[in-house]
Amino acid sequence: MKKNKRSNYKQVQKNKKKYYTKLDVFLSRMASILKVPTGVALDMFSQRAVTTIRINNLLQNPQHTIDQLKKMGAVLKQVEWLKDTYVVENMDKSDLASTVMYKEGYFYIQNLSSMLPAAIISPTSNEKVLDMCAAPGSKTTQLASILNNKGSIVANDADKHRIEKLKDVLEMFGVKNTTVRYGAGEAIGGREEGHYDKILLDAPCSGEGLIYLKGEKPLRFWNIKKVKPMVNTQRKLIESAFKALKKGGTLIYSTCTLEPDENEGVVTYLLDNHSNADLEEIELINSEKFSSHKKHIKRGIIEWNGTLYSPEVSKTYRILPSGEMMGFFIAKIVKK
């Protein structure tokens, strides 16, 4: 009798399956992509990035806004590599968002990673600029600030609700040089082939770079199954953007995900299908002013999970989640 019981016990133990939580799967995948131990991946996604703001130069002199913020008690540290940009060392986003100054558009709360695309594309007033997936308007307002309300920007989005939010943000920020358009970004290249000097495509994505594991239900929107349909959309958008770009023009492709297929994979797809698409090094990220962030930056990878990408994607960059920046990917593409 005892022998049979023991034998049954061993059989149950042998057949017992190990179940993995959604967190286990997420951390394992991120560790594989970033080539770090799962404990390091856990630490990366458990840090909340510092609060950073961009001072609006379109409504009043930025120094006046800085003085007002300091009188309000804000402790500001200037970001070396980006004009009119500050880390707020003693206030979080909710504190700043409740101020009258924020509600009247004197500054914009924005993560440093999110500020990179407009800073890199750096438009001039004689160029036609397209922000292809513009809502809710953070990058559009930054482009307008760089241009000091001169030149011409088209801010496009395919979501009617988000378009209304975009219009409100542009009005609040005092943006005057931008035309807002509602429509699918995938259709722009067919309508306006070779029309734009600079195009910013901050593509819809699976959003892994935004995940903060200490937040409430942090993985409620994360699902591996999102990646494939996202890739299909991103390919159509980057094709359209490249078609709408003038010869010699610059396209910035960016996402807030870390998924290789949505990043290096999409860029490789463009390179494979357009011999006149050329990846360029990103001077800002390679500059001395940006050097303090280097430990949180990795070059694009040319292979992952059995998939090979173009060797050229080593000129792209993946920003690792940290206490400084959210996770991000960015590529600079020129039409030869």
Which amino acid is residue 81, in one-letter code? W
- According to DSSP, the β-strands at 178-182 and 152-157 are parallel
- According to DSSP, the β-strands at 328-335 and 317-319 are antiparallel
CA geometry: angle 215, 217, 219, nearest 5 deg: 100
Return the DSSP state at 21.
-
Look at the block and give the residue holding tokens 């920046």: 325
Crossing angle of the two packed helices 138-146 and 160-173, in degrees rounded to 10: 40
Do 49 and 43 form a contact (C-beta atoms < 8 A)? no
Q: What is the rounded distance in angstroms from the CA atom of residue 50 to the CA atom of residue 139?
A: 19
Do 288 and 258 form a contact (C-beta atoms < 8 A)? no
Whether 256 is a known active-site residue: answer yes
User: Which residue is catalytic, options 210, 256, 267, 319?
Assistant: 256
What residues act catalytically? Answer: 256
